[in-house]
Amino acid sequence: MSLLEVRGVMVRFGGVMAVGGVDLDVHAGEVTGLIGPNGAGKTTLFNVISGMQEPTAGSVHVSGVDITHEAPHRRAKRGLARTFQRLELFSSLTVRDNVRVAAELASLTNIDETVDNLLEKVGVSDLAEQTAGDLPTGSARLVEIARALATGPRLLLLDEPASGLDEAESDRLGVLLRELTADGLGVLLVEHDMSLVMHVCDRIFVLDLGHIIASGTPDEIQHDPKVLHAYLGAPS
């Protein structure tokens, strides 16, 4: 059984079809990529999965449970966590307290130890006492991932987590994602860094104008003429 099942999800804003009947699966222990040109509908689909956007049609299941109309906080209790394209840290709190808030809301035990371990895991232990609002974008994105992990998710949705990261940070992010999936976490990754996507993803779905136009392994996606056409305008 898939950890996440998206079936026939459609989102219409007035006369605009933002997402047009998408089917998508994420398996435990895998990184699944969701890529596509700007305006393809990726963030809208993320919002449907995380409960921030009601779909016009279709369904979303997590571990076989229909969560299509559940509120975001109920989805979080089922083990779904996400990060955002636009950073959503508590800017006046320290890095440590940003992660601690999530751990406390999730009623985790050994909170101090958990927070320290997560900061080390994402590579920002040295920034623990720094105010989040003073962080460079790359570091802030890593803190946001640590905060999402503090909720103890089974499914993690990452919306452009490599944006603002330098090459070393991006490499570390790739290692982190493989470590997380080795522990059984399922990851759905929206990302424009194609080097990262092709390196870490087990499977990739390509979204263009609200529709899935291709899916497969990184090698299959790189050689799919429909994908080349969507990105480069090359003949299909």
pLDDT in tens, 106-144: 877 789 999 999 999 998 999 999 999 999 988 999 999
Over residues 48-55, mean pLDDT: 96
The sheet with strand 203-208 has its strands ordered as 80-82, 155-159, 186-190, 31-35, 203-208, 211-216
pLDDT more than 90, % of the chain: 79
Q: Where are the beta strands (DSSP E) in 127-222?
A: 155-159, 186-190, 203-208, 211-216
Please give the torsion angle defined by the CA atoms of residues 92, 93, 99 and 103, in that order, rounded to the nearest 10 degrees. -110
Quote the CA–CA distance of 101 and 92 in Å, as a whole number: 13
Quote the CA–CA distance of 19 and 125 in Å, as a whole number: 39
Cβ atoms within 10 Å of 72's Cβ, excluding its own: 14
Residue 233: what pLDDT? 63
Listed in sequence order, the residues at least 6 apart from 110 whose beta carbon sits closer than 8 Å to its beta carbon are none
Residue 220: what pLDDT? 95
Q: Could you give all domains of the chain from N- to C-terminal order, each with its CATH number?
A: 1-79+155-165+186-236 (3.40.50.300), 85-152 (no CATH)
Across the chain, mean pLDDT equals 92
CA distance readout (Å), 4 to 61, 79, 159, 191: 6, 11, 16, 19
* Run of H or E including 138: helix 137-149
Quote the CA–CA distance of 135 and 55 in Å, as a whole number: 35
Do residues 61 and 5 lie in contact, with contact meaning Cβ atoms separated by under 8 Å? yes
Quote the CA–CA distance of 153 and 124 in Å, as a whole number: 20
Cβ atoms within 10 Å of 166's Cβ, excluding its own: 11
State the pairing for strand pair 4-13/16-26: antiparallel
Residue 236: what pLDDT? 47
Confidence at 69, pLDDT banded by 50, 70, 90: very high
Q: For the whole prediction, is pTM greater than 0.75?
A: yes
Q: Residues 141-164: pLDDT tens digits?
A: 999 999 999 999 999 999 999 988
